[in-house]
């Protein structure tokens, strides 16, 4: 998974409010309250790093540099978050390197 590259799905709108990032899928019905997602400061930084050019491994490396986290913990948390992003349709895979 570390070689995979993702980009934000264009059907998800993100807004930063204080230390959180709010994700709202815009192709869902308004009544679907579960369609609004909140990311903490680390999740928000991960969202910012999703540019369609960085691999998951490069995002992990950036987190290790910016936050007090080990590479193994950053990788485990990233994999879990990316699986969630895929489940809610917030990201699209661009390519696999190598």
Q: How far apart are CA 74 and CA 79, in angstroms?
A: 9
**Helix, strand, coil distribution of the chain in percent, nearest 5:** 40, 30, 30
Q: What is the pLDDT of residues 77-89, one digit of tens each?
A: 999 999 999 988 8
Q: What is the gyration radius of the CA atoms in the chain, in angstroms?
A: 13
Average pLDDT over residues 1-21: 92
Average pLDDT over residues 25-45: 77
Whole-structure pTM value = 0.84
Q: How far apart are CA 77 and CA 60, in angstroms?
A: 9
**Strand, helix or coil for residue 25:** strand
């Amino acid at each position: 998974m570390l070689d995979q590259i993702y980009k934000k799905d264009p059907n998800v709108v993100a807004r930063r409010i204080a230390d959180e990032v709010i994700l709202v899928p815009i192709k869902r019905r308004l009544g679907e309250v579960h369609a609004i997602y909140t990311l903490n400061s680390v999740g928000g930084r991960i969202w910012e790093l999703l540019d369609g050019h960085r691999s998951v491994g490069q995002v992990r490396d950036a987190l290790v540099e910016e936050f007090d986290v080990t590479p193994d913990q950053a990788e485990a948390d990233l994999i879990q978050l990316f699986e969630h992003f895929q489940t809610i349709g917030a990201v699209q895979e661009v390519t696999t390197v190598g």
